[in-house]
Structure 1
Amino acid sequence: MAFLHVVFVGLVIAAIAAAAWFLTPRGKNQVLIRSSVTLTLICCYLMWAITYLAQLHPLIAPRKSDLRHAEY
């Protein structure tokens, strides 16, 4: 189920990148704008996906630090 979130967000990012690709105004900076928008979206998606997936399967399990040993 969690994998579907990553795929869905990836498809949304791909749709936004495609829209930015076709809706970029013509001019001498068209390639720069397209590249910048696409690269920004890819970097944001990768940052989100890595953070999201790292929280699903952490390498180190969290532990309570306020546990006290019983003293008799």
Structure 2
Amino acid sequence: MRAGTQIGIAKLWDPGHRVETCQNLALGQLGNLPEMDKHVAFTAVTVFWLLFAVIGFLVSYRFEERGIIRCCVILTAVCCYLAWLVTFLMQLNPLVGPRANQKVIFGMITYWPNSFIHDQSDP
């Protein structure tokens, strides 16, 4: 590796920079990141698939095989929505988190003062 590459990597993993970035995020200086983002995403996708089903149902009146078209449109909307909902809920509250070996955990405790791994007991 060249010296410039090593400096870039050191800057990337600089714990002071990470703390400053986290503080900026907490204060909302890097963008509008409210806790309502999950509700907005949930509502937007729900409304999209609901509109898809309703519009598809209404468009089916123009065709002779309206029963088949309604069935296909509504089944498509329900299946796609359920697939998205399961994925969304699994990411919202994961059952299994990332795993690290002891050296990585010790490095996090040593170099990141505001890490989630600390010597205080969890509530």
SS for the counterpart of 2:63 is coil
* Deviation (angstroms), 1:64: 2.3
Note if 1:38 corresponds to 2:74: yes
Aligned residues: 68
Larger Rg: 2
* Deviation (angstroms), 1:40: 0.8
TM-score norm. by structure 1 comes to: 0.78
Aligned to 1:9: 45
If asked which structure has higher relative contact order (CA below 8 Å, sep 6+), I would say 1
Identity of aligned residues (%): 31
Provide structure 1 residue ranges, at least 5 long, that are not aligned to the other structure. none
TM-score norm. by structure 2 comes to: 0.49
Structure 1 runs (4+) greater than 2 angstroms displaced: none
Amino acid across the alignment from 2:46 = G
Provide structure 2 residue ranges, at least 5 long, that are not aligned to the other structure. 1-35, 105-123
* Deviation (angstroms), 1:63: 1.1
